[in-house]
Amino acid sequence: KAGVTQTPRYLIKTRGQQVTLSCSPISGHRSVSWYQQTPGQGLQFLFEYFSETQRNKGNFPGRFSGRQFSNSRSEMNVSTLELGDSALYLCASSPGQGNNSPLHFGNGTRLTVT
Amino acid sequence: AQSVTQLGSHVSVSEGALVLLRCNYSSSVPPYLFWYVQYPNQGLQLLLKYTSAATLVKGINGFEAEFKKSETSFHLTKPSAHMSDAAEYFCAVSDRSASGYSTLTFGKGTMLLVSP
């Protein structure tokens, strides 16, 4: 079974631009979560989607948004990029039932904002 | 909200020595706890999870963790370190949000360094 796939692996953007990151979950997984990882803040939860609906949201500004499609693939968008948005963005999928389902992570998208 | 504290941002051991990575959680209800490992330029990989079935949990690559409710701890151990164990390790707790659904809250991570 293929794992979680994130594209692209690396991105370089300029302040003020917007960016879209893509995530394909493990086949059969209906929940997709997004995390931001930085050296200073560690892993911070962005949001979670389940069956095309946002089920959970972390404490990030409205510039960060996401969506999920009917095939469970997910995208996240960051508008008006700031230098502080430079981070590794990790997507994770799970079957979605119960709170003991472990997350399966992709290898992430490394975003650099200059 | 539940939280996780990992003591020590860096732990150094010699190859063949015992590995002990510390994790304490705060939870008002019985928690679901996880350990993940992250190798350079990769995502997180599940090592093991605690779901109340047994207090001693065995995971992959020879790692295990013991849940101690009285100490609110879930420390990760491995009897003999291998060079390939060098990585960053994250402890996580399942946290139920205001929406009623769960998310994982991660500790800050501990970088394990293994010297020959």
> Within an 8 Å CB–CB cutoff, is residue B35 touching chain A?
no
Residues B44, A33: C-beta atoms closer than 8 Å? no
Contact indicator for A36, A59 with CB cutoff of 8 Å: no
Interface size A-B, in CB pairs within 8 Å, comes to 56
pLDDT tens, position by position, A10-67: 999 999 999 999 999 999 999 999 999 999 899 999 999 999 999 889 999 999 999 9
Per-residue pLDDT of chain B (116 residues; tens, 9 = 90+): 778 999 999 999 999 999 999 999 987 666 789 999 999 989 999 999 988 778 899 999 999 999 998 899 999 999 999 999 999 999 998 877 666 677 888 999 999 999 99
Residues B101, A102: C-beta atoms closer than 8 Å? no
Residues A103, B44: C-beta atoms closer than 8 Å? yes
Q: Which residues have a Cβ under 8 Å from the Cβ of B65 and sit 6 or more positions away?
A: B23, B33, B35, B48, B50, B56, B57, B59, B74, B75, B76, B77
Interfacial residues of A (vs B; Cβ cutoff 8 Å): 4, 6, 33, 35, 42-43, 45, 48, 50, 55-58, 90, 92, 99-100, 102-108
Q: Is the model's pLDDT at A95 over the cut of 90?
A: no
User: Rounded to a whole number, what is the distance in Å from the CA of A21 to chain B's nearest CA?
Assistant: 15
According to the model, what pLDDT value does residue B99 have?
67
Residue B102, CA distances (Å) to A21, B27, B32, B58, B81 in order: 23, 14, 10, 24, 33
Contact indicator for A52, A69 with CB cutoff of 8 Å: yes
Residues A33, B51: C-beta atoms closer than 8 Å? no
Residue type, B110: T
According to the model, what pLDDT value does residue B28 have?
66
